[in-house]
Each structure stands twice: as structure tokens, then as C-alpha cells.
Structure 1
Amino acid sequence: MGIMTRMLRLCKADVHGVMDQLEDKGLLLKQYLREMEDSLENKERQLHGMTRNAEQLQRQFLRHGEEMEKLEADLNLALSKEKDDIARMLIRRRRCLETACRCLKDQHEAATQERSQLSATLADQRLQYETLKARADAYCRQADQRLWAEESGVRTGERGPIDPKEEDVELELLQRKEALQKGGHA
């Protein structure tokens, strides 16, 4: 049973090795970068939504504050005219608005804090993305250069188009000497 298990592991390892060589790492890097960029764009949309929500909460808070000021003026008028029934109704409305203002203020503070945290996270992730993108671009450039070198037959330490043959160097040296002698005597 142990031999069969080991043979199965060897086959799996060999298949994984073949798959790794078939995958183009540059393409995978580019795909991962696209996915990261999509994720960042989603978070930016979420951040804009949070900003709009916080602004809406702030506007509601201000409207309630203005309404409370009007109620306060009406309440003072009702008290001065000794209209207790109207004053009671205005007090009830004012208290409801005070409660609503406290809730809006709490919601606004929570939304602002959540927005700040997401903004900081987004800034960090954007920096990580830009760093990774630069590194991936450098990797892809190096991979392209290696591929070009392999396709053109240039290998380090081997004679290729970059290392001319000794015969070619000697021939050019003789041609230049001859041209120099003809040019010097003419």
C-alpha cells in the first residue's frame, strides 16, 4: 500500500509540475492585477456611497434642527397666549425631533468613522496595488527579454549574434588596415 501511495504522489507532483510550466506567469500576474483593480474600484464605489450617506444624514440633521427652531418659536408663542393644548403638542413634536436628531448624529458619527477606516484601508491597498503592479511590470519586461533572447538564439556564455566569430573580427581588422593604407598613400 505504501508503494502505491508514493507512486500516486509522484504522478500528482509530475502533473502539477507540467501544469506550472504550461501556465504563463505573466498572464496570471496580469489577471491578478485586474482582479485587484476591480476590487479597489468596488471599494471606491462603496466609499462614495458612504460619503453620500453621511452627507444625507447631515442634511437631515440640519433640517430637523431648523424645524426645532421653528417649533421653539411656536412653543414660546403658544405659552405667551396661554394655549396649553397647543404647547403640549409642540413639546411632543420637539421631543420627537430631539430624539431623531440624536439618532441622526449617532448614525452620522458611525458612518464617518466607518468611511474613514475604509478610506485608510483603500489608501493602503492602492499603495500595495501600485507597488505590486510595478513589480509585475518589471517581471514581465524581464520575461519578455528572456523570451526574446531565447528566440533569437542569444544565450549567456554562448557564441551568438552578440559575440562575433574570431574570423570576422580578423577579417574586419585587415579590411580597416588596408583602407587606412590606401587612404594614407592617396
Structure 2
Amino acid sequence: MGIMTRMLRLCKADVHGVMDQLEDKGLLLKQYLREMETSLGHKEQQAAALAQRIDRLTGLTARHVQEMDKLERDLDLALEKEKDDIARMLIRRRRALDTATSRLTEQVETMTQEKTRLAETLAGQRLQYDTLRAKADAYCSRAADRLLETPPGRCAGTVYSIDPGDEEIELELLARKAALQKGEAP
């Protein structure tokens, strides 16, 4: 391994380390959870749309079956009256409806299987989301507790003081005395 490769790897590691320090883990967790929730919402909408299509196709299949029953009765009547031309036309229509019905039934079966797979995937992802949400809430709670445990006058992870220094207090005191001497409100 050459020295340039090692130097390049060291620089990349430093950049990644700096980025890790800049990123707020709690905010990132919340953003990831929002993205997961949005994705779950889209999949739930897909499942609902698929269920509506299945219902629509099932209704269409039922109407085709009713129409075939009606055609069957009309066909029996045409055969009784020896109307062969009408019987041929009714047979042709019945066969077309029978083919359409079988294709619709196949589509419903395929969509039902797809809906079942989607529901299983969605249930697994919902469980993962709930688990991650609980972990993220616990992480944010621990982070808030750590923030509350920091000594007064210091923020977690920073070296800035919240308490004003003696110089700042003296400057404000002098400014207030000067304002009082001039008759102004501080």
C-alpha cells in the first residue's frame, strides 16, 4: 500500500469524521422516520387502489355471469321456437362473455395474490417503522436527558458560556449609570 493511498484514506476518514460531528443524529433520525412514513403511506395507497380494482373487476365478473344466465335463457327460448339464426348469435355472445369472464377471474386471482404480498410486505415494514420509531424516541429522550445533565453555563458539546462574564456585567453597569445620570431609562 503506497503512502498516497494511505494519505487519501486518512483524508477521507477525517472528512467523514467531521461530517459525523456536524450532523445532528436526532434530526437525521426524525427525517428518516418521516421518509419511512411517507413511503408506507404510498404503499398503503397502492394497496387501497389495488383493492378497489379487485372490487371493480369482481363486480364486472358478476355482471357478466348474470348476462350469461340471461343469454342462456334466451338461447333455450330460441331453440324452442327453432330460431337458429338468433340461437347462433346468442351462442356467439355467450362464448365471448364466457371468455371475458374467465380472463377477469384470472386477473382477480393475480391481483389478489399481489394484494396479499403487498399486505405482508406492508405489515413487515410497518413493524420495522414502529420499532425504529420507538428506538428513535428512546435515543432522543436519552439525548435530552444528557443535555439536561450538563453543568449550568455550558451547552452539551460546546465550550460557550451562558453566564455573562465579569467584564460584560461591569460594562452594563457603567452603561446603566451613565443613562441614569443623563435622565434616560436604561
**TM tier, smaller:** 0.7 to 0.9
Q: In structure 1, what is the equivalent of residue 46 of structure 2?
A: 46
3-state DSSP of counterpart to 2:150:
helix
Cα shift at 1:121: 1.2
Q: In structure 1, what is the equivalent of residue 109 of structure 2?
A: 109
> C-alpha root-mean-square deviation of aligned residues, in Å?
1.5
Q: Could you tell me how far apart the structure 2 residues matched to 1:94 and 1:151 are?
A: 85
Sequence identity, in percent? 65
Unaligned runs of 5+ in 2: 155-186
Amino acid aligned to 1:125: Q
> Under a length normalisation based on structure 2, what TM-score does the superposition of the two structures give?
0.79
Amino acid aligned to 1:32: Y
Q: In structure 2, what is the equivalent of residue 127 of structure 1?
A: 127
3-state DSSP of counterpart to 2:82:
coil
Deviation sequence 1:149-186 (CA, Å, 0-9, x none): 225379xxxxxxxxxxxxxxxxxxxxxxxxxxxxxxxx
Q: Could you tell me how far apart the structure 2 residues matched to 1:61 and 1:111 are?
A: 14
Cα shift at 1:116: 1.1
Q: In structure 1, what is the equivalent of residue 100 of structure 2?
A: 100
Q: In structure 2, what is the equivalent of residue 70 of structure 1?
A: 70
Amino acid aligned to 1:48: A
Q: Could you tell me how far apart the structure 1 residues matched to 2:32 and 2:52 are?
A: 30
Q: Could you tell me how far apart the structure 2 residues matched to 1:104 and 1:66 are?
A: 14
Q: Could you tell me how far apart the structure 1 residues matched to 2:21 and 2:112 are?
A: 49
Unaligned runs of 5+ in 1: 155-186
Q: Could you tell me how far apart the structure 2 residues matched to 1:57 and 1:146 are?
A: 57
Q: In structure 1, what is the equivalent of residue 181 of structure 2?
A: none
Runs (4+) off by over 6 Å: none
- Equivalent positions of 1:119-158 (< 5 A) are 119-150=119-150, 152=152
3-state DSSP of counterpart to 1:150:
coil
Q: In structure 2, what is the equivalent of residue 20 of structure 1?
A: 20
Q: Could you tell me how far apart the structure 2 residues matched to 1:4 and 1:151 are?
A: 44
- Does 2:33 align with 1:33? yes
Deviation sequence 1:84-107 (CA, Å, 0-9, x none): 010001000000101011001111
- Does 2:93 align with 1:88? no
Q: With CA pairs under 8 Å and 6+ residues apart, which has the higher RCO, 1 or 2?
A: 1
Amino acid aligned to 2:142: Q
> Under a length normalisation based on structure 1, what TM-score does the superposition of the two structures give?
0.79
- Total equivalences in the alignment: 154
C-alpha change, 1:73 and 1:151, in structure 2 (3 Å) is farther
